Amino acid sequence: MNILEVKELQKAFATQTAVDQVSFSLEQGSIFGLLGPNGAGKTTLIRMITGIFYPDSGSIFFQGRPFAALKDSIHIGYMPEERGLYKKMKIGEQAIYLAQLKGMSRSDATRKVREWFNRFEMQTWWNKKVEDLSKGMGQKLQFVTTVLHQPRLIILDEPFSGLDPVNSNLIKEEIYSLARQGATIIFSTHRMEQVEEICDHIILMNRGRKILDGTVAGVKQEFKENEFRIGLDSPPPSELTAGAFEVVERRDGQLIVKITSGHHPNDVLRYFIDRGIGITSFTELLPSLNEIFIKLVEGTPTARQFHRL
Amino acid sequence: MSKIWLITRREYLTRVRNKTFLLSTFLFPLVIILFIVGSVLIQTQTHTRARIAVVDANGYFKDYLKSDSSMSFDFSAGLDSVNYAERGCTAVMIIPVLPEGKETDYRLKYKSQLSLGGTSDLQNRVNDAIVDHMIYQKTTISRGRLDSIRNNSHIARLQAFEDNGKTAKASNQTMSFVVGYISGILIYILTFIYGAMVMRGVMEEKTNRIAEVVVSSVKPFELMMGKITGIGAVGLTQFLLWIVLVVGLAIAAQGFLSAETWKEVQQAQQTGQMGGPAAGRTSDLAGNIAKIDTAVGGANLGLTLLLFLFYFIGGYLFYSALFAAVGSAVNEDPQEAQSLMMPITLPVVFSFIIMTVAVQDPGGPLAVWASIIPFSSPIVMMARIPAGVPGTVPYWQLGLSMLLLVLGFLGTVWMAGKIYRVGILMYGKKPTWKIMWKWAFHAS
């Protein structure tokens, strides 16, 4: 069943169309990457899904029914990119308060907060104030307050920024475990290596429009350039002429070749076997998501930031 | 609804539990008392005794102009408009020969100006001197008799009563002035204190970015209303504590007085209310307490207190919603808040100025209209009410003012809600009232 279906969603502000005819659907239990450069409309899209903004047109279906922001907010956990907590409020109380705002009873909320604090080894923080926490500690607290009420849909905007590798892994493991328990996760980020690692399904937005939608493996297949890396046991001849492929790069006794259209990898292998050159390895080179994204958004005004990665 | 309650509860508890709450609750009355005592002291202390040199061409003024505690006259020969300062005088008055039946100028020359009251006092004294001189000259009355008539003729004393149909109540202008003034000042200060508290709270939520987390669970309007009601409850708590404090002090004060004195107080009040002559038997202390007690009764404390609560809450809701709207629109820059607050603080300050006029003339047209319009009614109406309901403030005015205030705060809350909804999630844009107006009245 699709937990979330978004159909032709549109939202315009005075100066520009932030989200333009975006449609997609999300399967329950999947980890979904929402990608795009700054200003692509991701935050606006998320704010419509969390009920903070009303769309100008289009529709959102949550668990098969039309989305009702107030009733469904108990099932949604949202961790915005810009973190926010009350600085002067004690941590335990704050977590309980935020869970109560989601609709949990005080006793349920207290029990859940204790459970999560134990899991993240935060018990001793209970009476501390947020202003006394480090950035990473604040981040962990924010994550706890986001998933505390056992939402069906969890939206995380850059959840790992400011976390050290140990805490990053801790959160990552929790994300996997929440997904195994049936929660669906929308994961918005610029960090492509994290997307490749974590996400099943991605969409890419640029300038308000959806420009790519698919599974991580599928997208890579779609954008592959038919390039292979070949390891050889003896140095390859400096001049290689073959109709089946052309050499793109030579490095450390390895060749990167691009198979010309109409040919098959077997043709490449046959070429070397016929010449008595031993093959030690043969791997298909798939483009990284980063490369795909640079390719897709390059040339648009917002593309520059991706080059920095 | 239950979510507004949750938010209200948090806003209330975080503030009341704070140590600064207790501190400010007990310091605020102290500051107010110091403020009032201080301003009274300043007003009484600044009267310096003017010493006026008189150069009189008529020759009779020295018989009539008498020195007293507020003014003294020096008629010594040789004083003139050049050397008066050296001789220790603050001013010199030069009176030329005054022909009968013709207006003639006389001059006052000074280095440091006389007070406004001092100048008119001097004019009265000079005119009285001329009258006395003429009576003395044109009749056969002796100077001794003239003086004794002057001294013994101040025997009539005005007692004002407020006409309430069947009953008449002793009124006390000074007391209603004081009660009105204090109520007006209190509402003025509290509007600013709690309004600013709401604005800071909203700004904190916006700059902390907690607002985005919260509005994914509750409606922005609920968040705003929860904050307003929570801080309003803090204000009411503070107010109740003050009443407890005052009543406690009053009871403690009563404990120091003997039962006999209280009996005399009652007697004095009864004779006073019947309009009979004040009983000469009562002791001074009892007489004074009786005066204060009737005065407090004359200001109708119960009604004043109830209406104070109403206008405090109404004015608070009216203005705090506007403060919340400003808080939601500004970014981290406190200067932005300053400039956006101007249109809100101006009417409050203006109401305060009208209030100082209204306590002196509670029935004047400016006072009446300002006490009906919701922008100024909380402050100005509180200045008028101690003067008497329904005498000075007819029921229709009170009713209309209350109704308009309720409609007014419903209006500001509605408008602020719309601005708040957009503003709380808008970063980086420099806000203006024009933009906020768009947010409020053009649905997006």
Q: What is the DSSP letter of B51?
A: E
- The radius of gyration of chain B from alpha carbons, rounded to an integer in Å, stands at 30
Q: What is the ipTM of this complex?
A: 0.78
Do the Cβ atoms of A84 and B213 come within 8 Å?
A: yes
Interval A245-293: pLDDT, tens: 888 888 777 888 888 888 888 888 888 888 888 888 888 888 888 888 8
Model confidence at A231: pLDDT above 90: no
Global pTM reads: 0.75
A285 bridge partner residues? A227
Do the Cβ atoms of B217 and A98 come within 8 Å?
A: yes
- Domain end, chosen from B132, B148, B164, is at B148
Query: Is residue B422 less than 8 Å (CB to CB) from chain A?
Result: no
Q: What pLDDT score was predicted for residue B311?
A: 93
Do the Cβ atoms of A84 and B212 come within 8 Å?
A: yes
**Closest Cβ opposite residue B211 in set A79, A84, A97:** A84
Asked if residue B342 belongs to a domain, the reply is: yes
Q: What pLDDT score was predicted for residue A303?
A: 42
Asked if residue B312 belongs to a domain, the reply is: yes
Mean pLDDT of A199-224: 87
The least confident of A9-18, A151-160, B111-120 is: B111-120
Asked if residue B154 belongs to a domain, the reply is: no
Do the Cβ atoms of B216 and A50 come within 8 Å?
A: yes
Ranked by mean pLDDT, the top range of A179-188, A213-222, B118-127 is: A179-188
List the one residue out of A50, A55, A56 whose CA is nearest residue A72.
A50
Average pLDDT, chain B: 82
Same domain? For B304 and B412 the reply is yes
Asked if residue B95 belongs to a domain, the reply is: yes
pLDDT higher for B154 or A67?
A67
For each of the domains in chain A, give its residue range(s) and CATH number, in order of start. 2-221 (3.40.50.300), 225-285 (3.30.70)
From chain A, pick out residues whose CB is under 8 angstroms from the CB of B7: 101
Same domain? For B29 and B54 the reply is no
A157's CB contacts (< 8 A; 6+ apart) are A42, A43, A46, A79, A80, A81, A188, A189
- Domain end, chosen from B148, B183, B202, is at B148
Q: Please, which pLDDT band fits residue A84 given cuts at 50, 70 and 90?
A: confident
Same domain? For B280 and B348 the reply is yes
CATH number of the domain at B109, please: 3.40.190.10
**Closest Cβ opposite residue A101 in set B208, B214, B444:** B214
Asked if residue B91 belongs to a domain, the reply is: yes
Token pair for A100: 């109560």
From chain B, pick out residues whose CB is under 8 angstroms from the CB of A71: none
Q: Which DSSP string do the residues of A117-185 spell out, in sequence order?
A: HHHTT-GGGTT-BGGGS-HHHHHHHHHHHHHTT--SEEEEESTTTT--HHHHHHHHHHHHHHHHTT-EE
Same domain? For B356 and B388 the reply is yes
Interface of A with B in 129-158 (CB under 8 A): 145
Rounded to 5 degrees, what angle do the CA atoms B321, B324, B328 make? 145
Same domain? For B79 and B131 the reply is yes
Alpha-carbon distance B400 to nearest alpha carbon in chain A (angstroms): 38
Average pLDDT, chain A: 85
Q: What pLDDT score was predicted for residue A307?
A: 38
Same domain? For B246 and B306 the reply is yes
Query: Is residue B281 less than 8 Å (CB to CB) from chain A?
Result: no
Q: Report in angstroms the alpha-carbon separations of B369 from B205, B380, B400.
A: 38, 9, 11
Cβ pair A55, A10 in contact under 8 A = yes
Q: What pLDDT score was predicted for residue A39?
A: 79
- Residue-range definition of the domain harbouring residue B103: 50-148
Same domain? For B385 and B421 the reply is yes
- Domain end, chosen from B148, B182, B210, is at B148
Asked if residue B189 belongs to a domain, the reply is: yes
The number of folded domains in chain B is: 2
Model confidence at A299: pLDDT above 50: yes
Same domain? For B55 and B35 the reply is no
Nearest-by-CA chain A residue for B223: A101
Do the Cβ atoms of B217 and A82 come within 8 Å?
A: no
Q: Report in angstroms the alpha-carbon separations of B321 from A4, B199, B217.
A: 37, 9, 21
Q: What pLDDT score was predicted for residue B404?
A: 95
Mean pLDDT of A99-126: 90
Q: What pLDDT score was predicted for residue B282?
A: 54
Asked if residue B161 belongs to a domain, the reply is: no
A228's CB contacts (< 8 A; 6+ apart) are A245, A256, A257, A259, A265, A268, A282, A283, A284, A285
Instruction: Give the rounded percent of residues in chain A with a pLDDT score beyond 90.
Output: 18
Cβ pair B26, B246 in contact under 8 A = no
Asked if residue B164 belongs to a domain, the reply is: no
Same domain? For B262 and B345 the reply is yes
Same domain? For B328 and B371 the reply is yes
Model confidence at A309: pLDDT above 60: no
Helix, strand, coil % (nearest 5) of chain A?
35, 30, 35
Query: Is residue A88 less than 8 Å (CB to CB) from chain B?
Result: yes
Q: How far apart are CA A218 and CA B254, in angstroms?
A: 89
Task: Spell out, as residue ranges, where chain B has pLDDT lower than 50.
Answer: 274-281, 299, 444
Same domain? For B35 and B82 the reply is no
Residue ranges of alpha helices (H) inside B275-333 are: 284-298, 301-329
Same domain? For B396 and B310 the reply is yes
Chain A / chain B CB contacts < 8 angstroms:
58
